[in-house]
Structure 1
């Protein structure tokens, strides 16, 4: 085993033990979690080419982010994209990174904050354990917005998606606010994103978890968090690790720089593929659970 392989193995063993010994685990998950499953929001991915080639052909769009924020000529075209992608997100099973994370922490005292809007965390983790500070594709809101309510999106996007022709839907299919008649919007970060009661309820759950466990033996597990919105997960996790007496930070992402010197003794940073790391953690845990020869009564 090379020195690099030994160091990786040692990191895996330490991270696993930290998770097992923690009183609480706070997960921060972002785009890298899904990118590791080939569902890349920002790149020209196979997922995009396989499912949205007509949008590339008609508009020159080359990734999901561009498709979401593209200034379509008509709402009928915008909703063709929103509905098609919405239906795919509801239909897509949980990726392996999410499956492996679930194996690692499902029996622990944990909470998850995520900037992802692709529904992947909700495939395996209950809503009471999740916080969406940038919203989630599960919901729609009034585009005005004239009131505080949000509305389930699944039935709506499935009905619209069934009526797509090329990159358009009939105008009468565009969802409208039941109160003012304005066009509805997905409930995620936008100029009209509604930080009302629904958003506040999610943030309150997050704050309650922090207040209950900040002084305990807590692991902050940061997965696939880049620099696009560092104020939501990355910076708060760094500050928490520094200030909370028993906190330990595990930071995993491709291209992740070394931790700040102030956090060096309280953190592990892995510039690595999240899928590889989570798979290794699950495999290590299975070896720890396997009975030894002595335990099974075999001769030694």
Structure 2
């Protein structure tokens, strides 16, 4: 058997699947938050010219001159990449790979693509926040509020890089500014999702588990480091790392790991086709 057939067999034999995803997954879907490329120019050329931002990430942390401008940037971004998203070749392949098995997903990507593609919200932990929600910028309290409906309305009426003042979100408690969940200081962790993740890990302790690591850089301490520590401690875990140009597997887990270097879409399809 080749390595794809072995991986497919390990998945078929697994009691559950744990998925970790970061920027490499988003990049394979066309969203590159670090890139000063043509897509960024097409979407944010006016912001680049006026405010000097060179990529999406810079824009999310820039102190714009007004709340109207800040929310114009956020709403344009989120509506473009998430407003009409229903899935991709990546998420279709991932659904076939997981099948009917119990699963949990931990991602540092904020665009909410897994939920929008049809994966269960209760099985997703967006560890660095999500564009689907907003919070008090202070924050004066820890509640998160739905954002997509407001974002859609903002993006529809923006003119010359500004939304109308009456559409600027205000904190329901203190009346102060809001921010998208995951952008800016005062980030409110999603404790409910974190607890669900811990329950999943505890439930499948000692059982057959496949970890799919998708597009995570070797320095990632939020997802990659704890996943690898857990894989080293668990005797029945198979670790599959997929990334383009960067595969890192420590000696402690190499014997039960696979490193697949290449195009995310092609690799996931190859695994799915073997299921």
Interval containing the TM-score (normalised by the shorter chain): over 0.9
Whether the aligned pair in 2 keeps the contact of 1:68 and 1:82 (CA below 8 Å) is yes
Whether the aligned pair in 2 keeps the contact of 1:97 and 1:274 (CA below 8 Å) is yes
**Residue 283 of structure 1: aligned partner:** 273
For 1:259 and 1:147, locate their aligned partners in 2 and report how far apart those are by CA, in whole Å: 40
**Residue 2 of structure 2: aligned partner:** 10
Instruction: Confirm whether residue 224 of structure 1 aligns to residue 215 of structure 2.
Output: yes
Per the normalisation by structure 2, the TM-score is 0.93
- SS of the equivalent of 1:256 reads coil
**Residue 200 of structure 2: aligned partner:** 209
**Residue 109 of structure 1: aligned partner:** 102
For 2:236 and 2:184, locate their aligned partners in 1 and report how far apart those are by CA, in whole Å: 37
Instruction: Confirm whether residue 80 of structure 1 aligns to residue 72 of structure 2.
Output: yes
- Aligned structure 1 segments of 4 or more residues deviating by more than 4 angstroms: none
Q: CA deviation at 1:227?
A: 4.2
User: Which range moves more in the overlay, 45-54 or 213-222?
Assistant: 45-54
2:185 to 186, 191, 205: 191
Deviations 1:210-240 (A, max 9, x none): 0000210111110011145x22111011111
Deviations 1:158-201 (A, max 9, x none): 22222211212223321101111001111115321113xxx111
Instruction: Please give the residue correspondences for 1:55-134 in structure 2 after superposition, counting only pairs within 5 Å.
Output: 55-88=47-80, 89-123=82-116, 124-134=118-128
Q: CA RMSD in A?
A: 1.7
Q: CA deviation at 1:61?
A: 2.6
Instruction: Confirm whether residue 177 of structure 1 aligns to residue 168 of structure 2.
Output: no
Greater C-alpha Rg: 1
Whether the aligned pair in 2 keeps the contact of 1:28 and 1:233 (CA below 8 Å) is yes
Higher relative contact order (CA 8 A, sep 6+): 2
Q: Structure 1 unaligned runs (5+)?
A: 1-8, 286-300
Per the normalisation by structure 1, the TM-score is 0.86
Q: CA deviation at 1:104?
A: 1.2
Aligned residues: 273
Instruction: Confirm whether residue 244 of structure 1 aligns to residue 238 of structure 2.
Output: no
Q: Structure 2 unaligned runs (5+)?
A: none
**Residue 273 of structure 1: aligned partner:** 263
**Residue 139 of structure 2: aligned partner:** 145
